[in-house]
Chain A
C-alpha cells in the first residue's frame, strides 16, 4: 500500500465511524454541535497519531503477554496529556466534552489501530495511518455534528468552545435568508430539537448511514449492470466471430 493510499483510506473506504462503526461513544455523545465534534476529532487525531508512533517504536520490547495493558497505558498517557492541555488552553471545550474527553482512552478505534496496524508496521507508516484514520474519524464526527446542529437549530455556530475567536460567530443560519423577507424571525424556535438530544444522535447517525449505504448500493448496482453489459457484449462479439468462422468454413466447403 502506498503512503497516500494509507493516509486516505480512513476518510471513506475504511472510515472508522461510517464503515467500521468504531468509536460510537463520542460519535453519539459529543456531536450535538459542529464545534464539539471538531474539538473531539482533533483531540483523537493527536492521541491516535502519538500512540501509533510510540507503539510502533517500542513494539519489539513489549512482551506479547502484556501487549494490550501496555498499549492502554501508552494511550492513557496521551489522553491525560490532552486532558490537561485542553483544561489549560481550551477550557470551554474541556467543559463541553466533560467525561467524554477522558473516555478517549477506551475508544475502540485507538486500541484497534494499535493492535491491527502500529504493532505490525514501522513508525512512519503507523504515523500516517494514525493521522489518516484520526482525520477520517474527525470528518465523520463533523458531518454528524453539522447535520444535528443544523436540524436542531437551523444554523451552525463557531467560536463558542474552541479558543480561536473572541466572540462566537454564526457560520450559517437560516435566519440570514429568512430575515431578508421577514424580520424578527428566529429559526431556533422551529428547529427539530430532538436532534440535539441523545435519541437525535441515533436518528442522525442512522439517516447518514442509510444515505451512505444507498449511495454504495447504487454504485454496486451500476458496477453490476456495467459488468453484465460487458459480458453480454463479449458474448455478442464471440457469437459474431463464431458466425463469421462458420460462414468462412461454409464458403471454403462450397469451393
Chain B
C-alpha cells in the first residue's frame, strides 16, 4: 500500500513541477506569441494592399467560405472605415507539402497582390517564386489575369495560380457588381 502511495506521490510531484514550469514559461512568452501572430497576420494584410506600416487599417472577422476551393474571406478597411478591398485565403496541398496563399482584390476589381503566407514547400523554391514571379499578379484586372507560363511550372507556383484564379472567379461572382 505504502509503495503504491509513494509511486502516486512521486508522479504527482513530477506532474506538479512540470505544470509550474510550463505555466511560468507560458506566462513569460504569452504576450510575445500573441504579438507575433497578430503582426504576421496584419503584416500580410498590409502587404496585400501595399499599405505602409504607419497607416491605420482594420480587418473584419474572417468569414468561412466553401466555394471555389477558398477557405476564408476578409474585408479590409482603412482608418476611416472605408472598404479597401477583400482578402481571400486558401490552403492547397501539393507534393512538397502545403501552401497557404492570400489574395487581395480592391473594390474596383484590381488584384492588388498575392502572397504566400505559410508553406512547407522547400524554401529556395518559395523564395524564387516570391522574388521573381508572384509580383507579376499585382495590379491586374480580375477579369483578365495574365499568368506567366514560363515560370518553370513549379508546384508552389501552380498553387498560387490556382488560388488567384479561384479568388478572381469568386470575386466576380459575389462582389463584382
Contacts and interface: CB of A to CB of B under 8 A. Distances in A.
Q: Does B associate with A?
A: yes
Interface of A: 32-33, 58, 61-63, 65-66, 69-70, 73-74, 76-77, 80-81, 84-85, 87-89, 91, 95-96, 98, 149, 152-153, 155, 157, 160-161, 168, 186, 188-189, 191, 193, 196-197
18 contacts: A33-B122, A63-B6, A70-B11, A74-B18, A77-B18, A77-B21, A88-B29, A96-B123, A152-B122, A153-B122, A155-B124, A157-B124, A160-B123, A160-B127, A161-B123, A188-B125, A188-B128, A193-B125
Given A69-B11, A70-B14, A168-B127, A85 B122 contact: no
A65 B122 contact: no
Interface centre among B29, B118, B124 (most CB of A within 10 A): B124
Contacts of B40: 91
Contacts of B108: none
Given A152-B124, A160-B127, 17 more contacts: A33-B124, A61-B10, A63-B7, A63-B10, A65-B7, A74-B18, A77-B18, A77-B22, A80-B22, A80-B25, A81-B21, A88-B32, A157-B123, A188-B125, A189-B152, A193-B122, A197-B96
A107 B42 CA distance: 36
Closest 7 CB pairs of A and B: A88-B29, A88-B32, A196-B122, A153-B124, A77-B18, A91-B36, A84-B29
Contact of A70 (B10, B22, B118, B152): B10
A146 to B, nearest CB: 13
B82 interface: no
Contacts of B124: 33, 149, 152-153, 155, 157, 188, 191, 196
A73 B14 contact: yes
Contacts of A152: 122, 124
Interface string B10-24: 110011011001100
Given A77-B22, A153-B122, A88 B7 contact: no
